Structure 1
Amino acid sequence: MTTNSRTASRTPAPSARRGARLPPGHRTPPAALAMLAALCALLLALTACGSSDDDATTNAAAGGDSSPLKVGVLVVAQSSLLDDTVAAYRASLVKAVAPRKVEFDVQNAQGQETLIQNLARTFARSDDDQFAVIGTPAVIAMAKLEKRRPVIAIAMGDPVGAKLAASLDAPGGNVTGSIDFVDPAKLLDAIAKTSPAPKRIGTIDDPSNQNSKIWVAALKHAAGAHGMSVVEATVASSKDVNSAARSLVGRTDALLMGPDAVIYSSLPAVASVARGNRLPLYLVAGDATASGVLASLGPDYPTIGTRTGEVAAKVAAGADPGTVPFARPTALAPEVNAATAKALGVTLPAEITGASR
């Protein structure tokens, strides 16, 4: 509220004008003193009101809230891939909202379902402004508990299939962010051109992960179109990954790991089994330079993290998350482990080697 100064000011009474003198012994009546005090209080209140509105206008013009942006970050499991993606997201958000400060509270669930639920509840009770979550089970847990504040999903596979968004372009709720879904048909198009070409593809997944279920179903469908079959081994936690990988030996010609954070948290175990049994190991995401890995065929995850930070910045600036589209991978970024390819005697097609770094 802005006060008109002419309305707020008063012309002084004749006896109070400069130069006027009061007669000796004159005393101002108590009623007049009370009225004067009331007028002073009113003027102070009006002045404060005007200043508050002016300050609010100034703050809005300068970019809004100057208080730190508090962000709770929930990471589903320990993995260098996830760590790199989250680091890129954080750097991108800090840059996008500068000079506003950002305070991150990063918690890792270590791939444990109980810990995922506990951390989600802790975050829901916090005073954070928004939440960033990587790993579909963790995103779902957070979204079930928090319906008001924004939940930014980092590299989620299928938020629509998980019923967290109406569509990728118009999510409609409080969940937005980025996706990492790569159609398995594109991957098998390239793998089918390797020499020797595999006929039996082994994969490991956690069936409690909605994204993994969707991806494996798509993989099986695509494999049929390529004259291949899929041998699936399931796990309940990262502790089961090693035995699941060993169970695929002798039943598969190659391994293809989909976008499952629990699997990637135990990737060294899978790579060790692949190396020891001369099985080509392909990843949708991860470090292709790791011993035992043949190639990583998916998108560049730090780039996905960077784009997620940009989405989060839009929401922090006041955009309704329900209207902010999910960021998508723009291209695949295949990477080949030349040492593994040589050891296995595998010849890879140009679709894979042509874009390797």
Structure 2
Amino acid sequence: MKKWLLIILIMMSALVLAACGTAENDSDSSNGSGDATQEDQSSEETPSEDSGDTEDSKVYKIGASQIVEHPSLDQAYEGFKQAIADAGLEAEYDFQSAQNDQNNASTIANNFVADDVDLIFANSTASALSSLQAVNSSGVEIPIIFASVTDATEVGLVEGMDQPGEVITGVQDLHPDAIKNTVKFIDTYFEGATVGLVYNAGEANSVTQIEAVNEAVEGTSLSTVERTVSTSAEVQQATNTLVGEADVIYVITDNTVVSALETVVQIANEQDVPLIVGEPDSVKKGGFATFGVDYFTIGYRAGEMAVEVLTGEKTTADIPVEYPPNMQLFINKGAAEEQGVEWNEDWDEDAQLLETEKE
């Protein structure tokens, strides 16, 4: 009897051990399946490389620097923004005017670099020089597109028209024939005149133009007399000293003088002195005539360059510096009457006639 009880106990123990082994195997199998499922889910939740902004949705940060606010530079800025918009790009602009102060221009440029903007639009020679210095000093390659620069090579922005910089290129505002044609116009219709020049000797672009005027005058019946200023507040007095000495006043695209052009126009009108200017917007403000260019067009072309750079299609080093696309004679007939100019019928066909804009 005892023998049978022992056999039964051994058999029951074996059954219990077998059951436990089966349960442990089932548990191990379940845990393995669960781990595999978690790995699949983790793989599916990995962010896609395309989850960031696409080119179409990107909003570009553009710093826009301008040495001073006056109609020509303002038109170039408007043209620049229009080209960006026409290309379908979205942009946020940080527009800063240096109020005709070179120190302010430098501060603005350094702030743009610190803000890590995508591109700088430098609208004037002073703004372009400050921007290039700030970018070069920082070691950060922020592209610069300039406009309204008289001679980019002369002031050292680039090595040549077909040699743009690693971070800079743009559109000049002085057509190579503009000053020659203007001097020829004065020589033709005001033979033997003394031409009065008022400019800021601190503006590199102005010095370049004055040198070009004096060179163009050589061999003509004309002569020149110069007055220099350092601020717009000095323009009226400097212009007044030309009365009785100058037969014609010629205001080049000097930012300091153009920002105070109304005082020059007033003197020209009161003293019956023909006022020749450097661009069409000054004709609209009361200047008599210019061989000039449309600044909106200059800015627009600069904007097209910016689009190519922002989208990665080109770098600034791939885009040569350009001259203004068009140049023509603009005349303000009302200003001619105010300044005692005898009208020539040829001007009706040769010039685009403009009127003085009312404030």
- TM-score tier after normalising by the smaller chain length: 0.7 to 0.9
Over 3 Å counting, the alpha-carbon distance change for 1:76 and 1:166 in structure 2 is: same
Tell me, yes or no, if structure 1 residue 189 matches structure 2 residue 180.
Answer: no
Tell me, yes or no, if structure 1 residue 204 matches structure 2 residue 198.
Answer: yes
Amino acid across the alignment from 1:242:
Q
TM-score, normalising length from structure 2? 0.81
CA distance in 2, matches of 1:349, 1:151: 45
Amino acid across the alignment from 2:110:
R
CA shift, 1:101, in A, is 1.0
CA shift, 1:55, in A, is 6.5
CA distance in 1, matches of 2:22, 2:33: 18
Tell me, yes or no, if structure 1 residue 287 matches structure 2 residue 307.
Answer: no
Q: The residue matched to 2:191 in structure 1 has which SS? A: coil
Tell me, yes or no, if structure 1 residue 328 matches structure 2 residue 327.
Answer: no
Query: What aligned pairs does 1:47-196 form with structure 2 within 5 A after superposition?
Result: 48=46, 51-52=48-49, 59=54, 64=55, 66-96=57-87, 98=88, 100-147=89-136, 148-182=141-175, 183=177, 184-194=179-189, 196=190
CA distance in 2, matches of 1:161, 1:264: 22
Amino acid across the alignment from 1:85:
A
TM-score, normalising length from structure 1? 0.82
Query: What aligned pairs does 1:190-339 form with structure 2 within 5 A after superposition?
Result: 190-194=185-189, 196-285=190-279, 286-291=281-286, 293-318=287-312, 319-339=314-334
- Kept in 2, the 8 Å contact 1:336–1:352? The answer is no
CA shift, 1:32, in A, is 5.3
Once superposed, what is the RMSD of the aligned Cα atoms? 2.8
CA shift, 1:172, in A, is 2.9
Over 3 Å counting, the alpha-carbon distance change for 1:272 and 1:311 in structure 2 is: same
Q: Percent identity?
A: 23
CA distance in 2, matches of 1:277, 1:259: 22
CA shift, 1:345, in A, is 3.3
**Correspondence for 2:351 among 348, 351, 355:** 355
CA shift, 1:322, in A, is 1.4
CA shift, 1:105, in A, is 1.0
- Kept in 2, the 8 Å contact 1:199–1:227? The answer is yes
Over 3 Å counting, the alpha-carbon distance change for 1:77 and 1:85 in structure 2 is: same
Amino acid across the alignment from 2:278:
V
Amino acid across the alignment from 2:185:
A
CA distance in 2, matches of 1:91, 1:289: 22
Q: Which residue of 2 aligns with 1:341?
A: 336
- Kept in 1, the 8 Å contact 2:198–2:251? The answer is yes
- Kept in 1, the 8 Å contact 2:196–2:225? The answer is yes
Amino acid across the alignment from 1:329:
P
CA distance in 2, matches of 1:106, 1:266: 22
Residues paired across the two proteins, number: 323
CA shift, 1:351, in A, is 6.8
- Kept in 2, the 8 Å contact 1:206–1:236? The answer is yes
Larger Rg: 2
CA shift, 1:311, in A, is 1.2
CA distance in 1, matches of 2:293, 2:192: 23
CA shift, 1:38, in A, is 8.7
Structure 2 alignment gaps of length 5 or more: 1-20, 354-359
Q: Which moved more, 1:28-37 or 1:86-95?
A: 28-37
Structure 1 alignment gaps of length 5 or more: 1-21
CA shift, 1:157, in A, is 0.7
- Kept in 2, the 8 Å contact 1:257–1:282? The answer is yes
Over 3 Å counting, the alpha-carbon distance change for 1:155 and 1:348 in structure 2 is: farther
- Kept in 1, the 8 Å contact 2:268–2:275? The answer is yes
CA distance in 2, matches of 1:72, 1:322: 20
Amino acid across the alignment from 2:27:
R
- Kept in 2, the 8 Å contact 1:334–1:353? The answer is no
CA distance in 1, matches of 2:37, 2:75: 64
